[in-house]
A and B are shown apart, each in its own frame.
Chain A
Amino acid sequence: MLEIILRISLLCISLAMLGLLYRVVKGPSAADRVIALDAMGINLIAIVALISILLDTSAFLEVILLVGILAFIGTVAFSKFLEKGEIIEHDRNR
């Protein structure tokens, strides 16, 4: 029973990722693509969690936190590039 539910939710999240992929390809502005990539990272976390339940292992629990941190830092770097044109400044009070 649980396995059927897990497979159905995996299918739903995969469809959501397909929708987000459409937004990455089609998105009119760069900000749309950045937001879509961030949401794809969050969906990837959900897929890893569901698969680790499906495989009955706790070996992937670090991956969940790791993908979350990487998605956050990637989104911050992208948005800083879109706002200022450079990601790491030498002196911000210049």
Chain B
Amino acid sequence: MKTNDLILQTVTKVCAFVIILFSISIFLGGHYSPGGGFVGGLMTSCAIVLLLLAYDLKTVAALLPIDYKIMIACGLLISASTVAGSWLFHAPLMTHAYSYFNLPILGKTSLHTAVLFDLGVYLVVIGVTMTIIQTIGESE
């Protein structure tokens, strides 16, 4: 039975971008305000779940050709290499460094290596959530 989901699909096209922008804002603001990699990753996977609800597994796989298991591995690699990077400077493990840089548009910005660790958490959370949901959704 084919159903007409025009309203749901049109709302999804607008809402998914808003949710992804909100998740990026939560992820980047995690150092100074509530949020961080975990909530940001969950919100991004919320946007992908909304796409899965409005469309189907094949369409979303064509839209986002990502293997989420490789995404988990990439996230773990980024976090682990951030942790191991402190060895290069003969500092104790998990020592994070930060400094202030003058970027062209943003001006004086504080760049912190904890953001890279958070990026790993973000990718792992998206990967785990989407792997679970896709595995459950595919079984007939």
Contact = CB atoms under 8 A, between A and B. Distances in A.
Interface residues of B, number: 27
Interface size class of A (residues with CB under 8 A): 20 to 34
Contacts of B46: 69-70, 73
A43 to B, nearest CB: 21
Contact of A87 (B33, B53, B59): B53
Contacts of B57: 88-91
Interface in A77-94: 77, 80, 83-84, 87-93
A70 B2 CA distance: 27
B94 interface: no
Interface string A28-71: 00000000000000000000000000000001001001100110
Interface of A: 59, 62, 65-66, 69-70, 72-73, 76-77, 80, 83-84, 87-93
9 contacts: A62-B34, A70-B46, A73-B46, A76-B8, A76-B50, A76-B53, A84-B3, A89-B56, A92-B55
Interface of B: 2-3, 8, 15, 19, 22, 26, 33-35, 39, 43, 46, 49-50, 52-59, 133, 137-138, 140
4 pairs of A and B residues whose beta carbons are closest in the complex:
A88-B137, A92-B56, A89-B56, A91-B58
